[in-house]
Amino acid sequence: MGNPKSNKNKIVAVVIVIVLLIIGGLFVFGFNALSIPFFSDSHTQILVIGQLSPGERLTLDNLSSLYTYRERTAKDLESSSIEELDYYDIIILDQSLSEKSVSADLGAAIEKYVRQGGKLILVLNSATKQSLGINGLNATDSIGWKTTMGDVSPADCVLLSGNTPSCKEGNEIAVVGRIIRTQEHPIMAGVYMAPTVDQEPYSLLALPIKASAGAKEIAYFDVENTPQRVPAILEKTSFPFGNVIYFNYDPGRTVNIFKNTLEYLK
């Protein structure tokens, strides 16, 4: 028979090694990127804050073997913490069909989620206002993503005539045109122009925003009805693994680009 004390020490040593390997993996691959069978199933977990558009919902439903999503309103999550958000591999923040505010707690949690390696899809002017949590009131002294989520957003507001922030609700512009790839990128895999030249151009609403500091343009609108250059898709990474993709239109209008984005972020 072996020495019981020696065997116990060996077991303890093995357990310590396993724990260290898990912790090391979390730091190497990111807390959200590492998929451990003990803690999650094989599906990529997506949290939707706001409301999916019909095209987004159809795309996700058709990819149900890969993605599981849950929809919550910003009000549901107004006291949210990073621990609650950290369960999800991807967050889609799309309030384009609903009220466009987040609480200070939720905004701070989203910023921390991204900085700790989280993946966020931000749509149009979602989360441009800060909710005060009292009878639907919002702060009136500022508007924009820097107020609600720090500087993780790839998009930034500009001042229009009359000193109106371009990301304020009601400042959308009607765009008739095509989405053109700015550079080679996994999100635009197989797509140079959408729609293709044999199809009618898109007619949609976009915001006259600009890329924020440190962000890069993935695609832009080739607009037929205005000479203004309008970004369509932007990206900004946060060290070491966090990533935010900004859509200046409903991602459900471009199913393949949306699918590529989900694949890129998961």
Quote the CA–CA distance of 107 and 105 in Å, as a whole number.
Answer: 6
140 and 252, same domain (yes or no): yes
Q: 236, 112 in Cβ contact below 8 A?
A: no
Q: Percent of the chain, pLDDT > 70?
A: 82
- What is d(CA 91, CA 211) in angstroms, rounded to the nearest whole number? 21
The mean pLDDT of 41-48, rounded to a whole number, is 90
Instruction: Answer whether residue 52 is part of any domain.
Output: yes
Give the residue with greater pLDDT, 15 vs 160. Answer: 160
- 2 with 65, same domain: the answer is no
Instruction: Specify the pLDDT at position 140.
Output: 66
CATH number at residue 110: 3.40.50
Same domain, yes or no: 108 and 13: no
pLDDT number for residue 136 = 63
Least confident of 71-80, 138-147, 164-173: 138-147
Q: Residue 82 has what pLDDT?
A: 82
> Per-residue confidence at 169, pLDDT binned at 50, 70, 90?
confident
Residues 143 and 244 in one domain: yes
**Domain membership flag for residue 130:** yes
Same domain, 76 and 148: yes
State yes or no: pLDDT of 181 exceeds 50. yes
Residue 24 lies in a domain: yes
Q: Looking at the structure, tell me whether residues 113 and 129 fall in a common domain.
A: yes
- The reply to whether 15 and 57 lie within a common domain is no
What range does the domain containing 6 cover? 1-30
**Range in 126-140, 176-190, 244-258 the model is least confident about:** 126-140
Confidence bin at 35 (pLDDT 50/70/90): very low
Could you tell me if residue 14 is inside a domain? yes
**Number of domains comprising the chain:** 2
Instruction: Kindly state the tokens that stand for 167.
Output: 């990301």
- Tokens at 154, concatenated: 């790839």
Amino acid at 169: E
What lies within 8 Å, CB to CB, of 107 at 6+ separation is 127, 130, 148, 149, 150
Residue 9 is predicted with a pLDDT of: 61
CB-based contact 74:131 (threshold 8 Å):
yes
The first and second tokens of residue 224, run together, are 């037929």
Same domain, 132 and 151: yes
In a domain, 188, yes or no: no
| pLDDT for residue 196 is more than 90 | yes
71: helix, coil or strand? strand
Between residues 113 and 37, the one the model is more confident about: 113
Residues 97 and 132 in one domain: yes
Q: Confidence class of residue 261 from pLDDT cuts 50, 70 and 90?
A: very high
101 within 8 A of 50, measured Cβ to Cβ: no
Q: Is residue 107 in a domain?
A: yes
Per-residue pLDDT tens digits for 202-259: 999 999 999 999 999 999 999 876 677 899 999 999 877 899 999 999 999 999 999 9
Structure tokens at 26: 């979390």
| The CA-based dihedral angle spanning residues 230, 89, 29, 147, taken in that order and rounded to the nearest 10 degrees | 50
Which tokens sit at 216? 């890069």
Asked if residue 250 is part of any domain, the answer here is yes
Over residues 4-27, the pLDDT tens digits come to 555 556 665 666 766 666 655 555
Same-domain check for residues 13 and 89: no
Residue of 183, 175, 182, 179 lying closest to 228 (CA atoms): 175
pLDDT at 36: 39
- Which runs of E-coded beta strand occur in 104-184? 119-123, 129-131, 155-156, 159-160, 164-165, 173-181
- Mean pLDDT of the residues in the chain: 86
- State whether 21 and 66 are in the same domain: no
Q: Per DSSP, what are the bridge partners of residue 123? A: 247
Residues 107, 239 within the same domain? yes
**In the prediction, which pLDDT does 17 show?**
60
Structure tokens of 189? 């895999």
Q: Is residue 163 part of a domain?
A: no
